[in-house]
Amino acid sequence: ISDAMSDDHDASDMSGGDDGQEDVMTPSELIRKLEEAWLNEKFSPELLENKSERVECVMEQLTHMEANLQRVRKGDMKASVHRMEIDRIRYVLSSYLRSRLQKIEKFFPHVLEKEKSRAEGDASFLSPEEFAFAKEYLANTETYLKAVALKHMPPNLQTVDMLKAVPEPCLDSFVFLRVRARQENILVEPETDDQREYVVDLDEGSQHLMRYRTIAPLVSSGAVQLI
Amino acid sequence: MFCEKAIEIIRELHRMGDGQLPAFNEDGIRQVLEEMKALYEQNQSDVNEAKSEGKSELIPTIKFRHCCLLRNQRCIAAYLYDRLLRIRTLRWEYGSVLPTNIRFHMCAEELEWFNQYKKSLATFMRSLGGEEGLDITQDMKPPKSLYIEVRCLKDHGEFEIDDGTIILLKKNSQV
């Protein structure tokens, strides 16, 4: 990656977080992981696990890069390249966060329900800030519907069940994926009276078009990459 | 026939192309709500009659009216929710200040929803990263070219850009 990142040596060792979930990464690995998370989030029909540690690291990185850019000799060719790089990374980060926000808004009752019923140790799908945003969105929308219409309706019709009213993400939509780690015996279609069970092996480096539901666990484990 | 007005307001909204927000159909909503009130009151009296005089032949009518009530509720909710989605898109397109002609098409409660949404979004964006946060309503497209061509309308004299170079801006020159 560019000089702008390695100019400041303090920035070149990034630690992913207190609980050591992510090992110390070089800046280029960090950006690569950001791009992977961005693509996965973009092409997945449902909201994926939140990577807020990564987001924070990338933002720190951007601040360092901006600072370095100030120090580069004015008019130097490198400055334009670095500027472009900073803009590119900021675009990917913004796009990633926008993808997530759009899904949170689109599926807000289900997202909140999932978060409420999650077990203690399980990874959270929403960052604390996203969770706050989702709750505010729900409250805002409910308040609005009540004020404009529901309170003028007959007594037994003054509520709307959001979980029923708002559609769930379609997990059966098809997605393109590339395999990173070989997988064996992936169940594509279960056995029924009419057909035998349909099972495939996924070779490393191969690309497929499959139902999201089938490979969802592989996305979160990192075994496949959505493209 | 019942529920016709409800369908009419939905059709009207559907007819407007992507993202456009027509004026809030206050009249239409009011008519649907009045129909609901009438249906409910008729059902109330029929239910009482059926209970007290055992007139079970009223029950199909009661069920039918109840279905109409549910349908009206669903149509109104759909109409209002679809408008909210359009209004939400406006924040991303126009920023936090909406053009006046669009604001005219929104009812007071929609404006309130918009204000709350703006606040939520701003709080969220400010919380990103460590310090000032990140405005994710910017950078909507991947950066393409670093340079743009500019034509000067007035003499501005010298101008320093981001990377420190100084350009001379003279009227009608193109840089």
A3 falls in which pLDDT band (50, 70, 90)?
very low
Is the pLDDT score of A14 beyond 60?
no
Alpha carbon distance, N-terminus to C-terminus of chain A: 22
The confidence score (pLDDT) of residue A118 equals 84
Nearest residue, CB atoms, B130 vs list A60, A75, A79: A60
Q: Which residues in chain B have Cβ-Cβ distances shorter than 8 Å to A148?
A: 29, 80, 107, 109-110
- The percentage of residues in chain A with a pLDDT greater than 90, rounded to a whole number, is 52
Q: Which residues in chain B have Cβ-Cβ distances shorter than 8 Å to A164?
A: none
Q: Which residue of B has its CA nearest to A136?
A: B120
Tokens of A13: 């060792």
Nearest residue, CB atoms, A133 vs list B70, B120, B165: B120
A74 Cα to chain B: minimum distance (Å): 5
Average pLDDT over residues A131-147: 95
Nearest residue, CB atoms, A97 vs list B37, B69, B136: B136
Q: Which residues in chain A have Cβ-Cβ distances shorter than 8 Å to B146?
A: 80, 83-84
Q: Which residues in chain A have Cβ-Cβ distances shorter than 8 Å to B77?
A: 145, 149, 160, 165
The confidence score (pLDDT) of residue A12 equals 41
Distance CA B149, CA B130 (A): 35
With an 8 Å Cβ cutoff, are A130 and B128 in contact?
Answer: no
Distance CA B7, CA B131 (A): 49
Q: How many CB atoms lie within 10 A of CB B141?
A: 7
Distance CA B142, CA A88 (A): 7
Cite the DSSP H helix spans in chain A.
3-6, 27-43, 52-71, 77-106, 108-116, 128-148, 162-165, 212-221
With an 8 Å Cβ cutoff, are A130 and B116 in contact?
Answer: no
Average pLDDT over residues A136-164: 93
pTM: 0.83
Is the pLDDT score of A4 beyond 80?
no
Q: Which residues in chain A have Cβ-Cβ distances shorter than 8 Å to B142?
A: 88, 91
Pick from A66-80, A103-117, B90-104: least confident: A66-80
Is the pLDDT score of A60 beyond 80?
yes
Average pLDDT over residues A120-127: 83
Top-ranked range on mean pLDDT: pick from A86-90, A121-125, B110-114, B140-144: B110-114
The confidence score (pLDDT) of residue B20 equals 87
Provide the mean pLDDT of chain A. 85
Nearest residue, CB atoms, B124 vs list A59, A129, A140: A129
Is the pLDDT score of A170 beyond 70?
yes
Nearest residue, CB atoms, B163 vs list A80, A105, A137: A80
B54 Cα to chain A: minimum distance (Å): 23
CA dihedral A106, A110, A116, A122 (to 10 degrees): -90
Is the pLDDT score of A87 beyond 80?
yes
Is the pLDDT score of A18 beyond 50?
no
Q: Is A141 on the interface with B (CB under 8 A)?
A: yes
With an 8 Å Cβ cutoff, are A59 and B129 in contact?
Answer: yes
DSSP A168-220: PP-TT-EEEEEESS-EEEEEEE---SSS--EEEEE-TT-EEEEEHHHHHHHHH
Nearest residue, CB atoms, B113 vs list A60, A101, A140: A140
Q: Is B7 on the interface with A (CB under 8 A)?
A: no
DSSP chain B: -TTHHHHHHHHHHHHS-TT--PPP-HHHHHHHHHHHHHHHHHHHHHHHHHHHH--GGGHHHHHHHHHHHHHHHHHHHHHHHHHHHHHHHHHHHH-SS--HHHHTTS-HHHHHHHHHHHHHHHHHHHTSSSSS---TTS--S----S----B-SS--EEEE-TTS-EEEE-TT-B-
Q: Are A29 and A53 in contact (CB under 8 A)?
A: no
A181 Cα to chain B: minimum distance (Å): 30
Reported ipTM: 0.82
Is the pLDDT score of A168 beyond 80?
yes
A217 Cα to chain B: minimum distance (Å): 28
- Reported as a single tens digit per residue, the pLDDT across A185-223 is 888 877 777 778 888 888 899 999 999 999 999 998 999
With an 8 Å Cβ cutoff, are A75 and B84 in contact?
Answer: no
Residue ranges for chain B with pLDDT beneath 50 = none
Q: Is B36 on the interface with A (CB under 8 A)?
A: yes
